[in-house]
Amino acid sequence: MKNKKIIIIGTTASNLYGFRKDFILSCLEQNYHVYAFVSEYTNEWLAKIQSLGATPITYQLSRGGLNPLADLQSTYRLMQKIREMQPDIVFSYSTKPVIYATLAAYKARVPYIFGMIEGLGSPFTIHKYGQSFKTKFIRFIQVSLYRLAFPYLDKIIFLNHDDPKDLVDKYNISHKTNAIEVLGPIGLNLQDYVYTKWDDQKNLSFIFVARLIAEKGIFEYLEAAKIVKKQYPEVLFKIIGGLDTENPTGLKQAELDRLIETGIIAYDGFVTDVDERIRNSAVFVLPSYYREGVPRSTQEAMAIGRPVITTDVPGCHETVVEGVTGFLIPKWDVTALVKKMIHFIEHPEQVNAMGYQGFLYAKKNFNADLINHRLLQIIGINHS
């Protein structure tokens, strides 16, 4: 019996390796030959993908570009590559691959086509002061392209329950019967995030882990830090994450330097040992209003045993059980954030109590093995 073939189509090789590693291994276990398509890569990441047992294939696609001719050309080339390989399944994720790889796979007559939408992203993120005309226009284009691609997908997989409502239902996008599936979070290899009690002899500290852009709630976090620090100067506020200088809503280097100088925050930039940083902090804070799928950083913090303060918005509110594993606050609400931070400062015993509940929740809901098993069932690979 010949090996079946699956093509997994993403964008950056590092992301595909980091977030699809367990899924690739699960497909290989089911005797599928895995081709991993990436459009942004280094030789080092391609080698890592290969070391899993998959075959990395590079293709051209501008992740943020708005040139329809370039995208049309990419789709045509993708179709040629897919046709050459004659796969049984094409599985794509993130906006552009889901659109263009789906159209390419349909034209290449692939028997089964699946797409995963990992959050609705920037075009669907509503800012405090509304949306720019450009963002609204990009959203219109994106919805129009989804209208083209969705009817060809055998399954359209979402990570949270809000996204299909705010995309498929709201814009009345046609699709195959029973195509919509909600997977929940992608999950973690829980062995990489071992539960560790917080040492309550240490000064209480809060940690923010994300890109330093408005959508992720960095400005609310900084505002709250300034207020709390006046009342409780010994409390530490840490930030992990890179500056996004291209992003108009990003934190500026000068402002960051000023905050470090005044001692309001401790900043170590972009680091690779995020789990260690979370372990060395008491409470995880993500005041995001970005249209996430389900934030991975929150899952990591809960698996390690840290309580979480996050916003009651799509994606984020799928992780926290209010008052049990942490707190949900309204987006943009600095006063509510300060209140919850002070709750932990005044009741430090709650850090380990809620953190342990978070760990139990993570064990049950964020286990990548169980989630991959379910994903394989959705796409009809796992016959066990």
Model pLDDT for residues 95-110, shown as the tens digit of each residue: 999 999 999 999 999 9
Q: What is the pLDDT of residue 129?
A: 84
Q: Which one has a higher pLDDT value, 270 or 161?
A: 161
The answer to whether residues 1 and 31 touch, using CB atoms and an 8 Å cutoff, is: no
The predicted pLDDT at position 111 comes to 97
Say how far apart CA 365 and CA 185 lie, in whole Å.
8
pLDDT at 382: 67
Q: Is pLDDT above 90 for 315?
A: yes
Fold that domain 4-187+367-378 belongs to in CATH? Rossmann fold (3.40.50)
Domain boundaries, the chain: 4-187+367-378, 190-365
Return the minimum-mean-pLDDT range out of 48-57, 265-274, 364-373. Answer: 265-274
Residue 23: pLDDT over 60: yes
Percent of the chain topping pLDDT 70: 98
Around 319, how many Cα atoms within 13 Å sit in the side-chain half-sphere?
Answer: 38
Mean pLDDT of the chain: 93
**Class (C level, CATH) for 190-365:** alpha beta
Q: What is the pLDDT of residues 183-220, one digit of tens each?
A: 999 899 899 999 999 998 899 999 999 999 999 999 99
**How far, in Å, CA of 197 to CA of 173, rounded?**
47
Judge contact between 291 and 278, C-beta under 8 A: no
Residue with tokens 């959050």: 119
For the cut 90, the answer to whether the pLDDT of residue 347 exceeds it is yes
- Residues recorded for the chain: 384
pLDDT at 151: 98
